Amino acid sequence: MNGTIERTANGGKGKRYRLDKPELLAPAGSLEKLKIAVHYGADAVYIGGQKYGLRSNADNFSFEEMREGVEFAARYGAKVFVATNIYAHQEDLEGIEEYLRRLEEVGISAIIAADPIIVETAMRVAPGLEVHLSTQQSTMNWQAVDYWKQEGLPRVVLARETSMEEIREMKERVDIELEVFIHGAMCSSVSGRCVLSNHFTDRDSNRGGCCQSCRWKYDLHEGGVSVMEEGDNPFTMGSKDLCMIKHVPDLIEAGVDSFKIEGRMKSIHYVASVVNAYRQAIDSYMADPQRYELNPAWVEEIGKAANRPLNTGFFYSTPGAEEHIYEAEEKPAPYDFAALVLDYDESTGIATVQQRSPFRPGMEVEFFGPGGRSFKQKLGELTDEQGNPLDAARHPLQAIKLRTDHPVERLDLMRKRIM
């Protein structure tokens, strides 16, 4: 990590803290999302492989894709971590060694593991892999952190129940990297301590089978009768999403080493927007902590890709009624991802973009790129690659040429206003 600064905390009294620039760690559910996350400023990304991860989905990385991802990330000085965060059953034990060795071989920097047997096996057979303890272990006190330190781990991902004050104390007492979730959806249970899905659907949540049963609707009965009256919302265990964009200085000053964004299933639009916002906040704070101010544009940026109710989790107090979701959860986001910039010709001012959702001439769109670059414009004429005019960009992944009001860059995104 670079960019160490020193400053005096507690208004000049108290001790001097040495503050390292924290890592911004982003989810990457596919190779394309990995590239976007890194391009928009993530210092590291975490991905899922074909096995041992909690997101079983078709987009998970093959070893080949991992290699390509590692190479791409390296060009930006970024690292790639792999989540191997299941709790293994007997049938999963065979093959762990081989899998971990392959991860090391393709250049993965670290695994994120919960099951101690995966932790221990990795240290034995793949010493080139760092082992980070997953949040699934629900580590929430400094002695538990110290236990993993003594076991030889360089980093612990803390339980989401940990408060800012507790993080500060951990950091003071144990010399280890602390990674903390700062943005995204989260389990309302203690991580790893929920088998609702196992019971309702025979799907094992601790091996990636969770069906979000905590967000379903329940009726609460008391003394044999429902507590619900006409018009009441049903009970749910669903928590609002975490969002710490307004509290970046607190996190840095508490000593958090890695800011983790949740969401391997999220779109590239979401990843780009969220990474973009936190990247700017962190950089701005590190450049001049004394004069740091929250830029409302960062908050807005996050809201453009997703419009979910947000909260600060356990950082400042135990979540209460306001922090849970009882009513319609998610409103549509005001913008939709429309195209990815593939190329820009400075001499003509024409960009080639790849269609991701339909758009047409006359539409109001916004182009944005890393570092908060953005501008709005009305779309003019569209053509296909051969220069044939189009009345609309209808086909997914079709290459479209259009004129932009200002220069754009490869991997900039174009989003369209939908409300």
Partner 1 sequence: MRTELLAAAGSIEQMERYIEAGANAVLIGEARFGMRLPGNIPEDRIAEAIDRAHRAGAKAYVSVNKLFRNSELPALPGYLKRLAEAKADAVVFGDPAVLLNVREAAPELPLHWNAEMTGTNSATSAYWGRRGAVRSVLARELNEEEILDLKGRSGMEIQVQVHGMTNIYHSQRNLLQSYMDHLGREARLVEQGPDRGRFLVEAERPEEKLPVYEDENGTHVMSADDIALLEALPELLNARVDSLYIETLLKPESYNLTAIRIYRQAIEAWERDPEGYECLEEWLDALHGQQPSDRELSFGFLYKEQVY
Q: Is 189 in the site for ligand SF4 (CB under 6 A)?
A: yes
Q: Is 187 in the site for ligand SF4 (CB under 6 A)?
A: yes
Residues 6+ apart with CB under 8 A from 389: 381, 382, 383
CB-CB contact of 214 with 188 (8 Å): yes
Binding partner of residue 295 among ligand SF4, partner 1, none, CB under 5 to 8 Å per kind?
none
Q: Is 54 in the site for ligand SF4 (CB under 6 A)?
A: no
Helix (H, G, I), strand (E, B) or coil at 321: helix
Q: Is 225 in the site for partner 1 (CB under 8 A)?
A: no
Shortest Cβ 63–partner 1 spacing (Å)? 21
- For 45, list phi and psi in degrees, rounded to 5: -130, 155
Binding partner of residue 227 among ligand SF4, partner 1, none, CB under 5 to 8 Å per kind?
partner 1
Shortest Cβ 114–ligand SF4 spacing (Å)? 13
Task: Kindly determine how many residues on this chain lie close enough to bind ligand SF4 according to the rule CB under 6 A.
Answer: 11
Shortest Cβ 193–ligand SF4 spacing (Å)? 8
Give me the residue label for tokens 């265990």. Answer: 237
Q: Is 201 in the site for ligand SF4 (CB under 6 A)?
A: no
Q: How many CB atoms lie within 10 A of CB 93?
A: 13
Burial (CB < 10 A; 0-12, 13-18, 19+), residue 90, is: exposed
Length reported for the chain:
419
Shortest Cβ 222–ligand SF4 spacing (Å)? 23
Q: Which is closer to ligand SF4, CB of 318 or CB of 388?
A: 318
Residue of 139, 188, 267, 312 interacting with ligand SF4 (CB under 6 A): 188
Residue of 206, 267, 276, 404 interacting with partner 1 (CB under 8 A): 206
Q: Is 383 in the site for partner 1 (CB under 8 A)?
A: no
- For 344, list phi and psi in degrees, rounded to 5: -140, 130
Binding partner of residue 122 among ligand SF4, partner 1, none, CB under 5 to 8 Å per kind?
none
> Distance of alpha carbon 250 from its chain centroid, rounded?
19
Shortest Cβ 51–ligand SF4 spacing (Å)? 19
> Distance of alpha carbon 322 from its chain centroid, rounded?
23
Binding partner of residue 212 among partner 1, ligand SF4, none, CB under 5 to 8 Å per kind?
ligand SF4
Residue of 97, 146, 283, 343 interacting with partner 1 (CB under 8 A): 146
Instruction: State the Cα–Cα distance between residues 266 and 298, nearest whole angstrom.
Output: 19
Read off the tokens for 133.
Answer: 């303890």
Q: Is 387 in the site for partner 1 (CB under 8 A)?
A: no
Residues 6+ apart with CB under 8 A from 264: 27, 28, 29, 33, 46, 47, 48, 55, 83
Stretch of 81-89, 245-253, 296-304, 352-360 lying at the interface with partner 1 (CB under 8 A)? 81-89
Give the residue from 234, 221, 211, 229 showing the smallest Cα distance to 327: 234
Which residues are at the interface with ligand SF4 (CB under 6 A)? 187-189, 194, 196-197, 205, 210, 212-214
